[in-house]
Amino acid sequence: MTTILWFKRDLRIEDHPALAHAVTLGGPVLCLYVVEPELWRQQDASARQYDFLRQSLPGLREALRRRGADLVLRVGDAVEVLEGLAGQYAVDHLVSHEETGNGWTYSRDKRVAGWARARGIRWTELRQCGVVRGLTAREGWQRARNGFMGQAPVIAPDHVEGIRCDSDPMPAAADLGLMPDGIVDAQPGGRRAGLRCLDSFLDHRGQHYRRAMSSPLEGATACSRLSPHFAFGTLSVREVVQATKARQEVGRKAGWSGSLKSFQARLAWRDHFMQKLEDQPDIEHRCLHPAFEGLRPMEPDAARLAAWQRGETGLPFVDACMRSLTATGWLNFRMRAMVMSVASYHLWLDWRATGRHLARMFTDYEPGIHWSQVQMQSGTTGMNTLRIYNPVKQGLDQDPTGAFTRAWLPELAEVPDRFLQEPWKWQGAGRLLGQAYPAPIVDVQMAARAAREAVWAVRQQDGFRPVARRIVKKHASRKSPRARGRQVKQPAKGADQLSFDF
């Protein structure tokens, strides 16, 4: 009998519990990856993400071939592909990792589960990160997560008795309806690229991580840049946690252990936020606190949305961040929070529309982190501190020399440094704004004030607090297992800034 090992977002053989389990079942293993056209037609999918996938599959195939197996690539609906292979190869087991993906993959997995039951095929899904499926309460979660991360990474098998059969050609992005999306400086995919990224971060780039990660300019180098490799699974979080731990002793002697400690904390928060979507899949589509439904127009102002997407809001630092994101597929954590905050509060755009755009732009799009953060930065969770970023202040604080802003907004070349983040105050604004560069589409102070009042009005409504307490109980972090039975406190100030771009 044959086992199908279904690769999804776990494109490696190292620290791969599903592969190890498939080998122990005995008999041949058919290693399968399915390119699902409908998945790539979803509104959160983009060509930059697909290109990263295409760059990652050859390395996986090569690693399997060195062990006697192969990667079978099929294009189509997962259930139909599985059905065809099951009939051809007498399949009795299906093995994969658990996936905390978007709503479409959640629905697809339910269809696969139904198919497997009807076929009499046992589907085993294994854990590959700190997320716990079927969690009933957050008490003890941190201990369980840390226990998993402390276990030795699973060693890749020396040999896999694989089945080699024909593969479909890998579709081009355009074949799936994915058009060029403006990226010009894409981060390369594949495990080799991921390992180079990890090695350089732990060797030297991470030295100033704690200080530089908030800067859009310095953060591009000081951050690990491992997030797309986590999203596609070319690296496992556990192997990075343990590699970082091994480096921390050396880092302590070199004087930069604090940066590595901060990085470890964000690896843990990554799992924390993914757990939210695992526990409540509808947060991709519905406000975590239902009282916020209808707060903003469901049909966003088209002109404002387009200006924000293109980086033409007239708010220089916001526009620079959006243009940088479009061109590179990456943005540091604080700036992700800021552009979302400005979209939700100052521009008063519904988080679903802006969240989908950012999902497409992020090469490292991870649904569990993304939708939790999108709602957090939009004030719709009911349990987080209300943070309305001032984009002018953020520009002054995080780009004090103006180098980042000027790199992405060359039309502001003649604006003096002191007016760069507020060009409307410059005496030459009349010949610039509305011509080479747009005038601001909102008044920053007035828009923030109106947004704050509207959100707080919802929070003052009768019945708001009991629902918020239930949300806290279900989703808020616990400092330690000893917190069981105590009143759960609100997350510490600043915790809502985390966006896990690493």
* Alpha carbon 419 to its chain's center: 34
Decide if 481 is inside a domain: no
DSSP 433: B
**What is the tally of structural domains in the chain?**
3
Task: Please give the pLDDT value at position 374.
Answer: 97
Q: Kindly report, residue by residue over 262-296, the tens digit of the pLDDT.
A: 999 999 999 999 999 999 999 999 999 999 999 99
Query: Could you say which of 97, 113, 128 is where a domain stops?
Result: 128
Task: Please give the pLDDT value at position 253.
Answer: 66
* Alpha carbon 447 to its chain's center: 28
Q: Kindly report, residue by residue over 106-140, the tens digit of the pLDDT.
A: 999 999 999 999 999 999 999 999 999 999 888 89
Evaluate if residue 381 carries a pLDDT over 70. yes
**Do 55 and 197 reside in the same domain of the chain?**
no
Domain range for residue 346? 290-451
Helix (H), strand (E) at residue 457: helix 444-459
Q: Give residue 481's pLDDT band: very low, low, confident or very high (50, 70, 90).
A: very low
For the domain that residue 255 is a member of, what is the CATH number? 1.25.40.80
Task: Please give the pLDDT value at position 68.
Answer: 96
Work out the average pLDDT over 300-310.
Answer: 98
Decide if 386 is inside a domain: yes
Evaluate if residue 19 carries a pLDDT over 70. yes
**Do 121 and 252 reside in the same domain of the chain?**
no
What SS3 class is residue 5? strand
Q: Give residue 494's pLDDT band: very low, low, confident or very high (50, 70, 90).
A: very low
Task: Please give the pLDDT value at position 434.
Answer: 96
**Do 328 and 409 reside in the same domain of the chain?**
yes
**Do 444 and 347 reside in the same domain of the chain?**
yes
**Do 316 and 447 reside in the same domain of the chain?**
yes
Q: Give residue 487's pLDDT band: very low, low, confident or very high (50, 70, 90).
A: very low
Closest alpha carbon to 74 in 59, 89, 88, 84? 84
Task: Please give the pLDDT value at position 251.
Answer: 66
CB of 458 within 8 A of CB of 291? Answer: yes
Evaluate if residue 398 carries a pLDDT over 90. yes
Task: Please give the pLDDT value at position 86.
Answer: 96
**Do 235 and 345 reside in the same domain of the chain?**
no
**Do 434 and 305 reside in the same domain of the chain?**
yes
CA distance 5 to 18: 7
Evaluate if residue 480 carries a pLDDT over 50. no
CB of 230 within 8 A of CB of 368? Answer: no
Evaluate if residue 486 carries a pLDDT over 80. no
pTM of the model: 0.94
Higher pLDDT, 251 or 275: 275
Evaluate if residue 492 carries a pLDDT over 70. no
CB of 76 within 8 A of CB of 26? Answer: no
For the domain that residue 89 is a member of, what is the CATH number? 3.40.50.620
Evaluate if residue 317 carries a pLDDT over 50. yes
Work out the average pLDDT over 346-364.
Answer: 98
Evaluate if residue 498 carries a pLDDT over 60. no
Decide if 6 is inside a domain: yes
**Do 114 and 207 reside in the same domain of the chain?**
no
For the domain that residue 379 is a member of, what is the CATH number? 1.10.579.10
* Residue 33 counted as an annotated binding residue: no
Q: Give residue 204's pLDDT band: very low, low, confident or very high (50, 70, 90).
A: very high
Helix (H), strand (E) at residue 34: strand 29-35
CB of 236 within 8 A of CB of 153? Answer: yes
**Do 298 and 320 reside in the same domain of the chain?**
yes
Q: Give residue 479's pLDDT band: very low, low, confident or very high (50, 70, 90).
A: low
Decide if 99 is inside a domain: yes
Give the chain's mean pLDDT.
93
**Do 273 and 300 reside in the same domain of the chain?**
no
Q: Give residue 255's pLDDT band: very low, low, confident or very high (50, 70, 90).
A: confident
Task: Please give the pLDDT value at position 489.
Answer: 36
Work out the average pLDDT over 46-62.
Answer: 98
Closest alpha carbon to 474 in 139, 100, 144, 148? 139
Q: Give residue 385's pLDDT band: very low, low, confident or very high (50, 70, 90).
A: confident
Decide if 242 is inside a domain: yes
CB of 423 within 8 A of CB of 433? Answer: yes
Strand order in the sheet with 122-126: 71-75, 29-35, 2-7, 91-97, 122-126
Residue with tokens 């002054």: 396
Decide if 207 is inside a domain: yes
Work out the average pLDDT over 167-188.
Answer: 97
CB of 382 within 8 A of CB of 291? Answer: yes
What SS3 class is residue 191? helix
**Do 17 and 107 reside in the same domain of the chain?**
yes
The proportion of the chain whose per-residue pLDDT surpasses 70, expressed as a percent, equals 95
Q: How far is CA 157 from CA 17, 24, 66, in A?
A: 11, 10, 11
Evaluate if residue 495 carries a pLDDT over 50. no
CA distance 46 to 370: 15
Which of 139-148, 189-198, 347-356 bottoms out in mean pLDDT, i.e. has the lowest? 139-148
Decide if 462 is inside a domain: no
Q: Kindly report, residue by residue over 410-450, the tens digit of the pLDDT.
A: 999 999 999 999 999 999 999 999 999 999 999 999 999 99
**Do 271 and 370 reside in the same domain of the chain?**
no
What are the backbone angles phi and psi of residue 67, rounded to the nearest 5°? -110, 10
* Residue 345 counted as an annotated binding residue: no
Count of other CB atoms within 10 angstroms of residue 29: 24
Closest alpha carbon to 442 in 330, 310, 376, 344? 344
Decide if 479 is inside a domain: no
Query: Could you say which of 128, 147, 173 is where a domain stops?
Result: 128
